[in-house]
C-alpha cells in the first residue's frame, strides 16, 4: 500500500506558466460562458474563474461544463496559480445547478453521459493541486452547491446566498458528488436531513452548520463574498506553495483512510517537501528574523 501511495503522491514535473484566456461574455449565444482572470499586483498568484451565463443563471449546461473542464486542464499545470477562486459574473446567483431545460431534451443515455461528465468536473475541481475557494454571493443550488463543495474553502454572503441540495424536490438525487461530499463536510445524519428534505439554507445558517468557512454582510454591489474570498486567498499567497499543495494532498488523501495510513501519507508528503528550496528559505528567514521569500521550488 505504501509503495502505491508513494507513486500516487509524487510531485508533478516542473510547472511552466501558461497563458490563460480572458474572454468576457454577455451571455449571447456562441459567447464564452466563463472568463479566466489572472490577477496582478498584491493579488498576483490568485486566478479567478468567473461564470457568466446570465440567461440561465449560470446553470451547468454542456457548454459551461466543457469550458470549465478546459480551463481546469490548462490551469492545473501552471505554477503561478497559487489560489483558484470560483465566482459569478451574474448578480444574485453563484450557480443555479444543472441546466434542467437542456437536460429535458436529452435521452436517458445522454443524461447518464452528461451526469458522468458533471461528476468528473467536480472531481477535477476537488483534485486541483492549488487551494480552491468558492465565493457564493447568491443562489448555489443542486449542482451549484456541489461545485462549491468540491472546493477546499467556501465563503458566502450571510443573507443573499441561498444554498441547498434540492434535487429530491425535482424527482432526482444529487449526482455530482453531493451525497459523498456533504456527509464528509457536515456528518452523515445532518447531510441526510438536508438531502432528504431538499432544504435551502441562508449563508448565515450554512456557517452555523459548518458548511461555509466565512459569511459576510452583503454590499450594494452584491459581491461581498467575493471580496472576502479574495482576502482569504491573500492570506494563502505568502505561504510556501509546495508545502501548501502537499498539505492539501495529505489532508484529502488522509481523510479517506484510517489514521495510521493517514500518518503514512503525511510522512510521504513531508519527505517530498524536505528537499525544496522553500524549506531552506523558511528556516533561513526564521534565523535572520525576516519575512520568507518563497518561490515554489
Q: Which residues are catalytic?
A: 98, 143, 146, 167
What is the three-state SS of 69-119? HHHHHHHCCCCCCCEEEEEECCCCEEECCECHHHHHCCCHHHHHHHHHHHH
User: Cell digits for 116?
Assistant: 458522468
Helix and strand totals (H; E) in the chain: 12, 10
Q: In angstroms, rounded to a whole number, what is the distance separating the alpha carbons of residues 204 and 208?
A: 6
Find out whether 67 and 34 touch, Cβ atoms under 8 Å: yes
User: What's the Cα-to-Cα distance from 256 to each of 9, 92, 252, 277, rounded to whole Å?
Assistant: 14, 35, 7, 30
Amino acid at each position: 500500500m505504501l509503495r502505491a501511495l508513494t507513486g500516487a503522491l509524487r510531485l508533478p514535473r516542473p510547472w511552466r506558466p501558461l497563458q490563460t484566456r480572458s474572454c468576457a461574455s454577455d451571455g449571447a449565444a456562441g459567447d464564452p460562458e466563463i472568463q479566466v482572470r489572472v490577477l496582478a499586483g498584491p493579488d498576483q498568484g490568485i486566478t479567478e474563474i468567473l461564470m457568466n451565463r446570465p440567461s440561465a443563471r449560470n446553470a451547468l449546461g454542456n457548454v459551461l461544463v466543457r469550458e470549465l473542464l478546459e480551463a481546469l486542464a490548462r490551469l492545473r499545470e501552471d505554477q503561478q496559480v497559487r489560489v483558484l477562486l470560483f465566482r459569478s459574473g451574474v448578480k444574485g446567483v453563484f450557480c443555479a445547478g444543472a441546466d434542467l431545460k437542456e437536460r429535458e431534451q436529452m435521452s436517458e443515455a445522454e443524461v447518464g453521459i452528461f451526469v458522468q461528465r458533471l461528476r468528473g468536473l467536480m472531481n477535477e475541481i476537488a483534485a486541483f493541486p492549488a487551494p480552491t475557494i468558492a465565493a457564493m454571493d447568491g443562489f448555489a443550488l443542486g449542482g451549484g452547491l456541489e461545485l462549491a463543495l468540491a472546493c477546499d474553502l467556501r465563503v458566502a454572503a450571510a443573507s443573499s446566498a441561498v444554498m441547498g441540495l434540492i434535487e429530491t424536490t425535482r424527482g432526482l438525487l444529487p449526482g455530482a458528488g453531493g451525497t459523498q461530499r456533504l456527509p464528509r463536510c457536515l456528518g452523515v445524519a445532518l447531510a441526510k436531513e438536508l438531502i432528504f428534505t431538499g432544504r435551502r439554507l441562508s449563508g448565515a445558517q450554512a456557517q452555523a452548520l459548518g458548511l461555509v468557512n466565512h459569511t459576510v454582510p452583503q454590499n450594494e454591489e452584491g459581491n461581498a463574498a467575493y471580496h472576502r474570498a479574495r482576502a482569504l486567498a491573500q492570506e494563502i499567497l505568502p505561504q510556501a506553495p509546495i508545502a501548501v499543495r502537499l498539505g492539501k494532498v495529505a489532508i484529502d488523501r488522509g481523510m479517506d483512510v484510517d489514521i495510521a495510513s493517514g500518518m503514512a501519507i503525511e510522512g510521504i508528503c513531508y519527505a517530498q517537501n524536505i528537499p525544496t528550496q522553500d524549506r531552506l528559505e523558511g528556516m533561513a528567514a526564521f534565523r535572520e528574523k525576516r519575512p520568507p521569500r518563497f518561490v515554489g521550488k
